[in-house]
Amino acid sequence: MQGNSRVPSSAQSDVHEHLATVVARHASAPFRKPYADYNRAAFATSFARYQRLAPGAPLILDAGCGVGESSVALATAYPTHYVIGVDQSAARLQRGQRGEHRRGESHESHDGQHAGPANVDLVRADLVDYWRLLLDAGVRLDRHYLLYPNPWPKIGHLRRRWHGHPVFPALLALGGVLECRSNWPIYIAEHCLAVQQLTGRAAVLEPFVPAQPMTPFERKYLDSGHQLFRTVTDLT
């Protein structure tokens, strides 16, 4: 199938000239945006479920999971881990839940059919709060995925990209093996520089071709003939 998705077009042809300054500013001042009640509630419920269903299991966070296809794939690939997929879009999560996987508790759906792995939970929340609530609770991740985050390619939108956002230091402090994928290489190049700046760890941009698409966006980009890029950094 031929897709018709476009690579992000931007007047920005290289790493943003203010990236290092913005990252340094966010590292030097605590980010104190108050938590929204619905995020506190979503965090409390999902964290209690994790502690009840898989106490002590290493945790994988699929940040911006969309319909949760990647969360289910990760839960299948890492059966002794517990996977939390977080997305702010109720519509996307519901679309996913109507598909092959479901939220939460039992290993069987109401009609008794196998309904997906038991070690995955899909949560509606804003990551800007959810990441900080995880950190406040003392959680450290085993693996952490940012799969095709919104690129915000306009020059003026640097602070909306995760590495340009004030939450980025908290995201990194959660540790684990952090993987970010995009079809816009500048996003990954910036992510790598921000990771290096804040952690001192080398982060390398690499082109890659997945054996199988792991998310709907990955599938759409591959069908459209895009080159894909990623970086994987061990923050443990």
Ligand X SMILES: C[S@@+](CC[C@H](N)C(=O)[O-])C[C@H]1O[C@@H](n2cnc3c(N)ncnc32)[C@H](O)[C@@H]1O
Give contact residues for ligand X (rule: CB under 6 A).
Answer: 64-66, 70, 86-89, 92, 126-128, 147-150, 215-218
Q: In the complex with ligand X, which residue's Cβ is closer, 62 or 82?
A: 62
Q: In the complex with ligand X, which residue's Cβ is closer, 43 or 148?
A: 148
CB of 131 to ligand X, least distance (A): 9
Burial of 97 (0-12, 13-18, 19+ CB in 10 A): middle
Q: In the complex with ligand X, which residue's Cβ is closer, 49 or 219?
A: 219
How does 121-144 read in b/e, with b if 16+ C-beta sit within 10 Å? bbbbbbbbbbbbbbbeeebebbbb
**φ, ψ for residue 22, nearest 5 deg:** -65, -45
Q: In the complex with ligand X, which residue's Cβ is closer, 46 or 70?
A: 70
CA quadruple 191, 44, 124, 30: dihedral, nearest 10: -30
CB of 219 to ligand X, least distance (A): 8
CB of 200 to ligand X, least distance (A): 27
Partner residues linked to 67 by β-bridges: none
CB of 113 to ligand X, least distance (A): 25
